[in-house]
Structure 1
Amino acid sequence: MTNRLWNIALENIESNIIKTEDGEYFGAGKNFGLRIYTRDISYSGILGVNSLYPCKILNSLKVTRNLRLSLGLRISEGHMIHGLSGNWVQDSLSEKEFLKKYRTNCYTRRIDDVVWLWAAMDLFEKHPELADWQWIYENGKNCFDKLYDPFLDPTDGFYRGQVSFIDIHFLERKASGYQQDLSVEECVMIKPMSTNCLYYKDLLSMASAAKKLHKPVEASEWRKETATQVAYTLN
């Protein structure tokens, strides 16, 4: 019975492998087609797939970074977040049209994107022969500069954003994970514990990567940001 369950699990994992001209990556299910979902890949990696399919997970994470950084803060119609800095670009596309064109949701609907860093660190720690610390550090720094820092509240060190893996409200209907009277914008102006735990973990990951690259000053700076979060929480 254990062997049968194991084989079913492996078959389920492999059914998510998408093959394209850009190589193979893990999708979010065979019914989702070519869509690229960072958090599905990342959480799957952390929960076991990193140990089983390390090369495919690494390539999948690289696919997510190439796409997400190329899009930046490009969003679909109705998903603008006012009052936050950043190079926001609003397309005259519905979210459905945006998803079809870019193979992923606009950033307003994927603000827990930071989870990829944890997945990458876990992968490299399990498979040091695959570790590319320069890649993880450069991509992590670019992501903080272009995607994550606009959501940071410097007064307390916490990040605004959606609850991790919980979809915010849709324009045409309400989701179940947030107060029903909140707008789309208000859903991502909160400071959820789950997503801030991801940021804490990933700030430590950036410090570790900087240390691996013999950047002690940078490593210290990344650790300082986690200290701000901890100090505010304790107070």
Structure 2
Amino acid sequence: MPYQPPTAPGFAIAQINDDWLPWTTILVQRSPILPPRIRDSINSAGAQFLPVFNNQVLSNSLTWHEEYFSALIANLAVRGMDLAIALTDARGVGFIVGAKLSWLAMNCLITPLLPPPAPLTAGELLPVMEYVVQGTISRSNIYFTLVYLLNHDQANLFHAVLGHASVFSPYWRPFRAGARKTADPPTVLVDDTLERGALCLRRMPLADLERLEVHVKGFLHVQNALRITDRGFHEVIRACCVVVNRALRRPEDDGLN
């Protein structure tokens, strides 16, 4: 079945504190809810790896010993995948998900150096690339990022980041539907477009808006962890961060650099 975002609002957050590390959080599971129409549209675009994503391993106490790691990866569905990505905080708390090396090679600055992909034999495990996340992320942040790295559809990504906010007019679509983008000239968004989005968000209760901020900036943390170079991804995430910052009347570049 396609990934179904949880039906109950709220967050379950695991935090760490260390004398030499800033506070780091990993958001576990619960994330803003997408309307079924938008969710199904995005899911259909990512059907090639949905079975793998749905079988990912989520752990609150990952320990990076070879035996334990092997046991975790063995639970991943590996059909069509040649890599596992681990996104964790500094203590190893986080997510592991199947992926394809080509997604990282085409879209990220740092990729693992692996031999040419070959079919996995019985009992053989996926190689793993670990990325440390400095911030709060959710399962949906990873899922929708991987969908974008697969289809490069800015409108779908925008809907995943902000589209579940029902306060938006259905005609407020800053990114053209069906467009595919990697490193084309930047999309020009007039200032009024972002301001209209911020005005819409200000109708939300403050608690919901702050929850949305966590969701939106989770994409920024994933972008930084994976060193995503795709310009289309950057444009959507930056625009969404600016809209949320304006709605909260915070500096526009807060958390963007």
TM-score by length of 1: 0.32
Structure number with the higher strand fraction is 2
Higher RCO structure, 1 or 2 (CA under 8 Å, sep 6+)? 2
Structure number with the higher helix fraction is 1
TM-score by length of 2: 0.30
